[in-house]
Amino acid sequence: MKVWMAYHSVGGLLGGGLERVHVYFSKPHFYLEAYTPDERITPLGEVVESQGYYRRVGWEAPHRMWVQSQSFGNWLGYAKDSDEHRELALYVWTKIGEHFNGLPMDRWEEQEKNGTVLPKDFLLELDIHITFSVPPKKCDDCSEVLIDGTCPSCK
């Protein structure tokens, strides 16, 4: 099963790490939306051509899905020693670091502001395998796993 990972802003990454990396179950696209003429007039003045006539909407999966995306950190962990999917989390974090040209995190915001590194340029595609299993039935008295419907301890 393919999944895609993206982030919406460097501020989100700096403030939440892998919690702010979104996992999409269908390939997302980065959308820009044009300001209408009425939206160009704001309380702070008019939006002019040099500021751009588009606002960033961000990553969205185009398909009608109940869940657009899932937080990577909340779903798979944050690369702590105790996390079951630690290696995957470290891999994703390494790819994000490569996206920011290996620079330290305190320079990431600067990279986004000067346009060198942008969220629209990061879309990590992974092929994952998910296994579903039914937990084994246990004995009501001693909590041993039943073998062929009987408890080996309580026979």
Cα–Cα distance, 34 to 57 (Å, whole number): 10
pLDDT at 48 (0 to 100): 62
Cα–Cα distance, 28 to 6 (Å, whole number): 9
Average pLDDT of the segment spanning 138-142:
89
pLDDT at 65 over 80: no
pLDDT at 42 (0 to 100): 66
Cα–Cα distance, 48 to 135 (Å, whole number): 61
Instruction: Count the neighbouring beta carbons within 10 Å of the beta carbon of residue 35.
Output: 15
Average pLDDT of the segment spanning 142-148:
88
pLDDT band for position 110 (50/70/90)? very high
Are the beta carbons of 13 and 107 closer than 8 angstroms?
A: no
What are the structure tokens assigned to 44, written together? 């702070």
pLDDT at 66 over 70: no
pTM of the model: 0.69
Amino acid at 119: P
Closest to 83 measured CA to CA, from 12, 13, 18, 21? 18
* Length reported for the chain: 155
Which residues, at least 6 apart from 100, have a Cβ–Cβ distance to it below 8 Å?
Answer: 107, 108, 111, 117
pLDDT at 128 over 70: yes
H/E stretch holding 75 reads helix 72-76
Phi, psi dihedral angles at 130 (to 5 degrees): -115, 135
Q: Worst-scoring range by mean pLDDT, 4-18, 36-50, 86-100, 114-128?
A: 36-50
pLDDT band for position 34 (50/70/90)? confident
pLDDT band for position 85 (50/70/90)? confident
pLDDT band for position 96 (50/70/90)? very high
What are the structure tokens assigned to 57, written together? 């909407």
Instruction: Count the neighbouring beta carbons within 10 Å of the beta carbon of residue 31.
Output: 14
